Structure formats: structure tokens, C-alpha cells
Structure 1
Amino acid sequence: MDLSSTAFSHGAEIPRRYTCEGDDTPPPLAWSGVPPQARSLALIVDDPDAPDPAAPQRTWVHWVLLDLPPSATGLPEGGQPAPAGTREGLNDWKRGRYGGPCPPIGRHRYFFKLYALDTLLPGLKTPTKAQLEQAMHGHVLAKAELIGTYQKQKV
């Protein structure tokens, strides 16, 4: 599978508008190459560099989506309207929506990870990343990844 955005290229800086210093809205995403046997897709956006890339202590979760239909080919800027059936899990702010990059110090990496699954996950209500990953175990058919970076402009 391939995952991309018209807002930034792999390894490049995420534009400010998609961060806490801007509109804090998800960038547009597009994907292709979903295996024909996929029953659903899941998306996790996280930052493994928290709180300081020089001494990371944890991975901070920015967005969790599940049960995207395999026929979907992307998400528009702002994430809405999401494809029918798409559900949101909880990020590390305990919110069921996107939370944009907002690093306290340094330049962080943000991993947008799309998974093609051989099942739907109806038993999960509003899962955390860990709960989603546990439910996906043994069901991942393919994975695509897009990495962007961001460093706060204001201090």
C-alpha cells in the first residue's frame, strides 16, 4: 500500500495549519494498493519523540481511526466527511478526534500509519492506540506509512 498527502511529502515538514499553532486540523491523506481481501482499514498517527527528541520518553498518540471501508481512497483536509462507517478512537488528550503536532521542544517526527485488516472491529467502542493494536494483532494484511516533521515556531 501507499500513503501520501498533498500537504507534505514523506520526511518533510507538516504545514503549520495542521498543527496546534494553526487550525489543528488533519491534513488530506490519500492511499492506494489496498489488498482486495481487506475488510477494513485503521489509521494511527503518533509521535515517538515525546517529549524531547534528544531524550524521548514515550510515544504520543495524535489520532486513532478504525473501520474505514477498504473502498475508501483517502480522507479530505479536516478529516470530514469521513467515509461511511469510520469511527474514531481516543488520542492521548483523551479526545476522539485529531490533535495536531504540538511538540514542547525540538523537531518531532509524526508517523501516519495505515493498516489494511482482514476483519472489522465492532467490539471496540472508542479504543486507545494500544487497544486497537491489540485487536488488530493477527489481522494486518498490509501497512503503509507517511512521516512528517514539525518544530514549533513560537516558544
Structure 2
Amino acid sequence: MSRHPPHPEHSGEAITIMKVDPILDAGVVVTSSAQEVSGKLADRCSAYFDNISPPLKWTGVPDVKAWAVVVEDPDAPREQPFVHWMIWNIQGELRSLPEGLPNSDFLVTPQGGVQGRNDMGGFGWFGPRPPAGHGVHRYYFQVFALDEPIDMDPETSLAELQKALKAHTLAKGEMMATYEAPKPQ
């Protein structure tokens, strides 16, 4: 009889925010009305349900020219964290994203926003869908304040985006939400 560990096997790689050192000491506070008091992300944002991007809000810092958001799941049973969302060139004066952004590469709103590919191969948001029986996964919503927009196309890899973030991040912050596969009815 084999015993399985009570929690998921984690990817061995650090998430993006751990690899980027900001220029300023100021932090960015990130929140979402789609996060329940328990920390769980609302079902409507999960790929098990409606798969819509959650609304996000964050605090500002001086001299921001653009924002970038990366959402990763380090609890995915693979070597690299699972990328759920990459979006950059959000206008510097903005402090939020609305719920339900379209899954397209170039966004009309917010104007100038560019979305890269998630690890399912599509552009934009791919909501949590941890394997059944794999336990609770953590989803890190990482927000980066940039000193200039990033001149990269939607086919940019996370590794390339990370290089740009390392060069241009003024401040950073994160929100961690959780999600677990729904129990069979």
C-alpha cells in the first residue's frame, strides 16, 4: 500500500516575482474582489467554470509608465510554474483591470495592453484547473510597475518577459489566491 504525500508536488522553479529586484523599496498592494475571504478565487474565474479573468486593483508608485501582470501556479506537477496570464503595457495611470478581459493578443481596453500566451497555448487568461485530487494550488498575481513600456510582441516567452521586467521594474507586489478542483457531485 503506497502512501501519497498530503500536498501536491511543487515545481522546482521560482515564480517571476522572486527573480525581479525592483529599483524602489516601495511595494505594490494587489487585491481582487474575485478573491473570497478564505483566499479562494471565485469559481467563475476557474477553467472548470466560466474561465473569466478576475478584476484586479493595485496601489500606485511614482513615475510609473506602464504595468505588467504575471499569474503563475508553482504547485503544478511539472518542472516550471504554470503560467496562467501574462499582460504588459497597461497604461501607467491605471490602477486596475476589469473582470473578463478578452483572450486576445492586443487589447482595446486597456489601450496598448499586450497579452502573451498562457501555458495552454492561448492568449490572455487561463483560469485555475488543478488536477482532481491534487489538493489546493496557489495562484500568484504578480504586478510590476515599470519605468517604460515593454516593446515585445504577444509571442514573447515568460523568460524574455522576465528579462525586461528585471531591467524596468520600479516596484512590485503580489496577491496569492487558492483554488482546488471541485469535488465530484
TM-score by length of 2: 0.75
| Residues 1:38 and 2:38 are matched in the alignment | no
Which residue of structure 1 aligns with residue 82 of structure 2?
A: 60
Secondary structure, counterpart of 2:167 in structure 1: coil
Matches within 5 A, 1:14-33: 14-33=41-60
1:130 to 154, 159, 166: 159
Aligned residue pairs total 149
Deviations 1:118-141 (A, max 9, x none): 12111x111222211112212110
Contact 2:65/2:93 (CA < 8 Å) preserved in 1? no
Q: Which has the larger radius of gyration?
A: 2
Uncovered stretches (5+) of structure 2, i.e. residues with no partner = 1-27, 103-107
Equivalent of residue 117 in structure 1, options 146, 154, 161: 146
Partner of 2:12: none
In the alignment, is the contact (CA less than 8 A) between 1:13 and 1:149 conserved in 2? yes
The unaligned stretches of length 5 or more in structure 1 are none
What RMSD over aligned residues (CA atoms) do the two structures have, in Å?
A: 1.7
Partner of 2:51, secondary structure, is coil
The alpha-carbon distance between structure 1 residues 20 and 85, as it changes in their structure 2 partners (threshold 3 A), is same
- Separation in structure 2 between the aligned mates of residue 9 and residue 113 of structure 1, nearest angstrom: 18
Give the TM-score taking structure 1 as reference length.
0.89
For the 8 Å contact 2:57–2:95, the answer to whether it is kept is yes
Q: Deviations over 1:77-108 (max 9, x none)?
A: 11256311111011111211100000012110
- Structure 1 runs of 4+ aligned residues shifted over 4 Å read none
- What's the secondary structure of 1:57's corresponding residue? coil
Identity, % of aligned positions: 35
The aligned amino acid for 2:124 is R
Q: Tell whether the 8 Å contact from 1:47 to 1:109 is kept in structure 2 after alignment.
A: yes
Q: CA, structure 1 residues 9+2, in 2 after alignment: closer, same or farther (shift >3 Å)?
A: farther
In the alignment, structure 1 residue 70 sits paired with structure 2 residue 92: yes
Local SS of the residue matching 1:138:
helix
Task: Please identify which structure carries the higher strand content.
Answer: 1
Give deviations 1:20-55, integer Å, cap 9, x for gaps. Answer: 11100111111122x22111110000100112xxxx
Alignment check: 8 A CA contact 1:116 1:142 kept: yes
8 Å CA contact 1:44–1:113 kept in 2: the answer is yes
